[in-house]
Structure 1
Amino acid sequence: MLFDTHLHVIDRNRLNYPWLPDVPDLDRDSLYEHYARDALRCGITNVLHMEVDVATDAIERETTFIKEIAARPESLVRGAIAACRPEEKGFPAYLERCLADPFVKGFRRVLHVAPDDTSERPLFRENVARLADTRLTFDLCVFPHQFERILDLVDLNPDVRFILDHCANPPIKSGMSAVWHRGITEFSRRPNVTAKISGVIAYGDLETWSVESLRPYIEHTIESFGWDRVVWGSDWPVCTLGGGLTPWVAATHALTSGCSEDERDKLYQGNAKRIWAVE
């Protein structure tokens, strides 16, 4: 069974997504019910919703919306990784509200769409440090050219638990990158970082990717981090660009077919249940 740590729900009738019109292939509603049919067929039993970079004034409304989905009968949603803006003065009060809400499991600030120096700003660093020794994680969604800056952020916060999204966005379509390969190794040397095996079918050739084209990236990530520091995610609906949820689940099973049952269980669900305290 699979614990999906990276579902995006897009409902343009409920929330405003400023970036969406600039990505025509995703500029549509991607609703929970669209996802759930395939998720149940694929053996997904638990889901965390990942924030979708909504307008800043809609951040808390997004969490409320996802709570409504979680309250539906037989919903798979167990919590939310909420959006945040650590570069803003209102973050401490927002953090306190989220700490009081067990549905919020962590935060993400999408950094690959922000100015590269965002993570170096004093207020940003000060606010991320507030997560130290809390139950909340902080997802890192970055591109390889940002690795050095983000490694500095991680090193400044050894008591914050970071989740590295999408195997750190490897440039699969253009071939193995020394910067990416070395960066994964460096991130793995930080014990407070966990890697998320998610969404990579959207980074290869969307029409011709294969299990073997993904293998070097998945294997290097898992070998670097070890089986106790990897989790799985779909990155739905972004994964639909590379074929959808079912092909990605099938590729996951193929890529891990030679692994032990214990290793697969850690990646598929065990580590996620431990990290985010989900039964």
Structure 2
Amino acid sequence: MDLIDTHLHLIYRDRLGYAWTSGIPALATGDFTLAVYAALIAGRGIAGALFMEAGVDDADYKTEARFVAGLVGQNGLLGQIASCRPEEDEGFDDWLDECQGLKVHGFRRILHVMPDALPQTPTFRRNLAKIGARGWAFDICVLARQLPIAVDLARACPDQPLVLDHCGVPDIAGGGFSEWAKGISALAALPHVHVKMSGISAYCAAGTANKATLQPWVDHVLAAFGPKRMVWGGDWPVVNLGTGLPEWIDLSHDLLSGLSDAEQTQVASATARRVYRLD
């Protein structure tokens, strides 16, 4: 089961600003480069990776995409999911035009750090629809409590392919299964929404990120979406707050071991190739 990693962050501090990392000791210093990532995954069955915009300072998000475009083709990097600002009309169309030449396969606007009202505005939804009209997917990054907002957004944009990052950020350590599960099921009822199996080891209590802890959460997502609507992501280097990347790869194989070979292939690579147009 060769995996396509649809969620690779890279940090190059000499080029870009990452203010959000300052309060996270494991991420606050040093670079997390493509070369380091390549060494971590060597021999672990990663067939390729998509860079996921890394939440750089607002002034740098376009610079980030331009820089990463120059890395595509190296160490298995297949392309990127770039940042955008759908809440702003000014320059939005021009940014989409430029991204046609930057090896972009999708976009993301991190929503869990923004006001809940942001994705509910007509401007945001109108511009989001422009992404889908050009054939690109959009990754939704929300907290579990914001899943109803994601449902509302998805219903308002039925022609926009959507990918829910990190299984909807469940509060695994706090046992917040019930409300999260309802939100997942509501999103899964919308056929243009997909889900990303990524990030969840970081939501476990310390020392409990294992198969026994995570299996019920993964099983619910699989039952709701099915393998044909699930992609996989490594979430490096944020995954270091949980298991670490090599361990997450191994754990992912264990969590998916109950699926048939064909179903495992869907989660590992086939869905990603279709949703992000990697072929």
2:135 match: 135
1:125 maps to which residue? 125
Size of the alignment, in residue pairs? Answer: 276
Contact (CA 8 Å) 2:161, 2:275: kept in 1 or not?
Answer: no
Read off the aligned partner of 1:104 and give its amino acid letter: V
Mapped contact 2:4–2:232 kept (Cα < 8 A):
yes
Give the counterpart letter for 1:30 in structure 2. F
Determine whether 1:91 maps to 2:111. no
Residue identity matched to 2:58: T
Instruction: Please give the residue correspondences for 1:50-69 in structure 2 after superposition, counting only pairs within 5 Å.
Output: 50-69=52-71
Residue 81 of structure 2 is matched in structure 1 by 81
Gaps (5+ residues) in structure 2?
A: none
What amino acid maps onto 1:57 in structure 2?
Answer: A
* Aligned position for 1:45: 47
Q: CA deviation at 1:4?
A: 0.2
1:34 aligns with 2:36: yes
Identical aligned residues as a percent: 38
**Stretches of 4+ moved more than 4 A in 1?**
none
SS in 1 for 2:126: helix
Residue 95 of structure 1: how far off its partner (Å): 1.6
Instruction: Within 5 Å, give how 1:18-29 maps onto structure 2.
Output: 18-28=19-29, 29=31
In structure 1, stretches of 5+ residues that fail to align are none
Instruction: Give, in whole Å, the separation in 1 of the partners of 2:233 and 2:206.
Output: 18
What TM-score comes out, normalization by structure 1 length? 0.95
Give 1:170 deviation, angstroms: 0.6
User: TM-score scaled by structure 2?
Assistant: 0.95
Are the counterparts in 2 of residues 206 and 243 from structure 1 also a CA contact under 8 Å?
A: no
What amino acid sits opposite 1:2 in the alignment? L
Structure 2 Cα separation of the partners of residues 191 and 105 of structure 1: 20
Deviations 1:89-124 (A, max 9, x none): 2212212222x2261011100000011111112211
Q: Matched residues in 1 for 2:81 and 2:199: separation? A: 16
Give me the whole-angstrom Cα distance separating, in 1, the residues matched to 2:172 and 2:235.
16
Q: Secondary structure at the match of 2:81?
A: strand
CA RMSD of aligned residues (A): 1.3
Q: Secondary structure at the match of 1:53?
A: coil
Report how far residue 71 of structure 1 moved.
Answer: 4.0
Give 2:244's aligned residue: 244
The worse-fitting range, judged by mean Cα deviation, of 227-236 and 38-47 is: 38-47
Distance in structure 2 (CA, Å) of the matches to 1:226 and 1:15: 38
User: After the TM superposition, which residues 148-187 of structure 1 pair with which residues of structure 2 at under 5 Å, given as runs?
Assistant: 148-187=148-187
